[in-house]
Amino acid sequence: MAVFDLLLCALILLVAVAAIVGKGLFRAVVFFVIYGVLLSLAWVRLDAPDVALAEVAIGAGLTGVLLLGAVGRLARSDADEPAEPIDWPVAVAASVVAALLVGAAIKITPGTGLEPEVRAVLTRTGVENPVTAILMNLRAWDTLLESMVLITAVIGLWPLAQGGDWMEPAGPAHHAQPGGVLSGFGRLLPPVALLVGVYLLWAGASQPGGAFQGGTVLAAAGVLCVMAGVVRAPGMAAPAWRLALVAGPAVFAAFGVAGLAWGGFLTFPEAWAKGAILTIEMALTLSIAVVLALLVLGPPQAGEAR
């Protein structure tokens, strides 16, 4: 397997270079997506399937779709593709940071890290998957703040809506042929995706999975439904959707405040931890799915498509 690992490392570096120096934005995005997929393979080889799932779903899949959308918009606005020479100050700064990171990585002594500490308290966290235990209990603060950052990303989209489009469905108008391949696929896949999304959420307690991975699958199913013309895209700022948007962080924060009664913000008593974490994760999955779907659909462009 050492040969495979070395090949994988070499491929990752090659693809990364191709993404940066290659000609054309579209080509760069394609290489970026391949880079994400290869990187998730590397995480699998490092025995970190949770990170691999997140990388392939969000790093490669979602970010790739967002970047492709951006490339499409740039092409429509007939802005010239930047053909600038290498920006040397940036290149030097990035190289120095990369060299420092490599130096730091080499200095890491192989060891167990925090694993013994996490294992020691795992039975009191309410879940069996150590990664979920860290994300949802031991370091719940970080996850709470992360989920709030996602909301600000959607709010950042709002100003991009043209005045008259504010109440229109999010994203461009879609024209799938009724009875065509896409509308058939859009009816066939979502039920399966729904099952997989909920399974990922449920599996997160004991295996790789969780709110982010499940939410990404649900978001993809939603976007597919909209593109296939099965459902109308929601209004970007419709009240019910705003509620779904904030449900995750709100439930999370509410449980955090309830924890004050047991000795501190975001402290879950042992007996209630599993129920609390599962409830928070369900709400988070909903919010993450809505956030990601709205980000991919983009601001309403009803006027533009006509």
**Is 26 a binder of another protein (CB under 8 A)?**
no
CB of 265 to another protein, least distance (A): 40
CB of 175 to another protein, least distance (A): 12
What is the C-alpha to C-alpha distance for residues 160 and 36, in angstroms, rounded to an integer?
28
What is the C-alpha to C-alpha distance for residues 283 and 278, in angstroms, rounded to an integer?
9
Nearest residue (CB) to another protein, 187 versus 274: 187
Contacts for 132-141 with beta carbons within 8 Å, 24 or more apart?
Answer: 132/204, 132/205, 132/210, 132/277, 135/210, 136/210, 136/277, 136/280, 136/281, 137/268, 137/273, 137/277, 140/252, 140/256, 140/266, 141/266
CA distances from 38 to 15, 173, 181, 267 (A): 9, 34, 30, 38
- Candidates 61-69, 130-138, 140-148, 186-194: pick the segment binding another protein (CB under 8 A): 186-194
Contacting residue, 13, 98, 145, 188, with another protein by CB under 8 A = 188
Our CA angle for 265, 269, 275, nearest 5°, is 100
Nearest residue (CB) to another protein, 27 versus 119: 27
Nearest residue (CB) to another protein, 220 versus 237: 220
* Interacting residues with another protein between 150 and 169 (CB under 8 A): none
- Candidates 69-77, 177-185, 210-218, 286-294: pick the segment binding another protein (CB under 8 A): 177-185
CB of 181 to another protein, least distance (A): 4
Beta bridge partners of 169: 235
- Candidates 47-55, 184-192, 235-243, 274-282: pick the segment binding another protein (CB under 8 A): 184-192
**Is 305 a binder of another protein (CB under 8 A)?**
no
**Is 75 a binder of another protein (CB under 8 A)?**
no
**Is 192 a binder of another protein (CB under 8 A)?**
yes
Nearest residue (CB) to another protein, 188 versus 260: 188
CB of 59 to another protein, least distance (A): 19
Nearest residue (CB) to another protein, 8 versus 182: 182
What is the C-alpha to C-alpha distance for residues 14 and 3, in angstroms, rounded to an integer?
16
Sequence-ordered list of residues with C-beta below 8 angstroms from that of 272, at least 6 positions apart, any chain: 126
CB of 4 to another protein, least distance (A): 14
CB of 78 to another protein, least distance (A): 17
Contacting residue, 185, 202, 265, 272, with another protein by CB under 8 A = 185
CB of 67 to another protein, least distance (A): 18
**Is 203 a binder of another protein (CB under 8 A)?**
no
**Is 189 a binder of another protein (CB under 8 A)?**
yes
**Is 8 a binder of another protein (CB under 8 A)?**
no
What amino acid is encoded at 185 in this protein?
F
**Nearest partner of 16 among 1, 42, 36, 40, judged by Cα:** 36
Residues of this chain that interact with another protein (CB under 8 A) are 181-182, 184-185, 188-189, 192
